[in-house]
């Protein structure tokens, strides 16, 4: 993959899907940027899309399920070696189907109280702290 200039900001979104005091988490596959790191599922916001539209599209593409966005968690800006990521996370609920692995190496429903046991991508860490501190 070509190195992107550090000045480029990549807008991405993540879905915080909570079910029975657990959160749906996905681990990035080998050969991907940040391979092996855990993240909230989602992806890049395409031109002309709202963050909510991007989340719905990404979850449909990557996990073959439909979600409903129910609230905002946080926006974090993190500078990686490949560029700056602006991650906005949103509380979501499953609207149809169950998540199916398409691109990720692993996924699990992690108890909220144990979210910090996973090796998170740096941009996701602030949202993890907020969720652990306030969504029970």
Higher pLDDT, 30 or 86: 86
Q: What is the pLDDT of residue 33?
A: 86
- Asked if the structure places residue 65 within a domain, the reply is yes
Report the pLDDT value the prediction gives residue 134, as an integer from 0 to 100: 66
Residue 3 maps to a domain: no
Range of the domain at 18: 9-134
pLDDT of residue 135: 47
For residue 3, what pLDDT is reported?
52
Is pTM beyond 0.85 here? yes
Instruction: Give the tokens for residue 96.
Output: 């149809």
At 8-26, the pLDDT tens digits run 899 999 999 999 999 999 9
pLDDT tens for each residue of 70-108: 999 999 999 998 889 999 999 999 999 999 988 888 999
Q: What's the number of domains the chain is made of?
A: 1
Residue 117 lies in a domain: yes
In a domain, 101, yes or no: yes
User: Is the per-residue pLDDT at 5 higher than 60?
Assistant: no
Confidence of residue 127 (pLDDT cuts 50, 70, 90): very high
Map the chain to HEC letters. CCCCCCCCEEEEEEEEEEECCEEEEEECCCCCCCCCCEECCEEECCCCCCHHHHHHHHHHHHHCCEEEEEEEEEEEEEEECCEEEEEEEEEEEEEECCCCCCCCCEEEEEEHHHHHHCCECHHHHHHHHHHHHHCC
The mean of the pLDDT values for the chain is 91
Decide if 2 is inside a domain. Answer: no
Share of the chain above pLDDT 90, in %: 82
Domain-embedded: residue 113: yes
- pLDDT of amino acid 4: 46
Could you tell me if residue 1 is inside a domain?
no
Q: Specify the CATH number for the domain of residue 43.
A: 3.90.79.10
């Amino acid at each position: 993959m070509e190195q992107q200039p550090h000045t480029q900001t990549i807008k991405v979104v993540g879905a915080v899907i909570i079910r029975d005091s657990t959160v749906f988490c996905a681990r990035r596959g080998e050969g991907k940027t940040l391979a092996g790191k855990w993240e909230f599922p989602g992806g890049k916001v395409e031109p002309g899309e709202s963050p909510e539209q991007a989340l719905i599209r990404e979850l449909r593409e990557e996990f073959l399920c439909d979600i409903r966005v129910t609230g905002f968690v946080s926006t974090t800006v993190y500078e990686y070696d490949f560029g700056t990521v602006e991650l906005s996370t949103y509380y979501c609920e499953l609207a149809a189907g169950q998540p199916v692995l398409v691109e990720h190496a692993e996924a699990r429903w992690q108890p909220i109280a144990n979210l910090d046991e996973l090796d998170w991508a740096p941009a996701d860490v602030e949202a993890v702290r907020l969720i652990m501190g306030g969504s029970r």
